[in-house]
């Protein structure tokens, strides 16, 4: 299942994993009505993802395409939901 919607995510930028397998995520909330009160991890994609690494552990507001994907686990273990944001623009925000 793949769902997409333009939106804004506000939260803390974090690096997870170990080099060379680091991933950039924003832990926070979105302005999408169905998700507005739920804190989630949004995996950052797109051209600005490298630029956002310098803001690790800071609060930002990122605008872009939010994608929800159901990923199949190995050995028929079911699926998990993952949220991604292809960041088009961002700015620092206060806590």
Which residues form the domain of 79?
Answer: 2-92
Q: CA 92 to CA 62: how far, in whole Å?
A: 9
Residues of the chain with pLDDT under 50: none
**Residue 48 has what pLDDT?**
93
Place of tokens 């680091």: 22
How big is the chain, counted in residues?
A: 95
pLDDT at 73: 86
* CA-to-CA separations, 71 to 7, 12, 33, 36, 59, in angstroms, rounded: 22, 24, 23, 22, 28
| pLDDT in the model for residue 95 | 67
How many domains is the chain partitioned into structurally? 1
Helix (H, G, I), strand (E, B) or coil at 50: helix
Give the mean pLDDT of the chain.
89
Residue 63: alpha-carbon gap to chain centroid: 11
Domain CATH number, residue 79: 2.40.50
Q: How far apart are CA 6 and CA 15, in angstroms?
A: 23
């Amino acid at each position: 299942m793949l769902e997409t919607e333009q939106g804004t995510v506000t939260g803390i930028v974090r690096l997870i994993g170990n080099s060379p397998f680091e991933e950039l995520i924003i832990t926070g909330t979105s302005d999408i009505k169905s998700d507005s009160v739920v804190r989630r991890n949004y995996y950052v994609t797109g051209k600005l993802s490298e630029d956002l690494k310098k803001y690790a552990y800071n609060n930002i507001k990122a605008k872009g395409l939010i994608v929800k994907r159901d990923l199949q686990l190995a050995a028929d273990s079911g699926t998990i939901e993952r949220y991604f944001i292809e960041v088009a623009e961002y700015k620092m925000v206060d806590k």
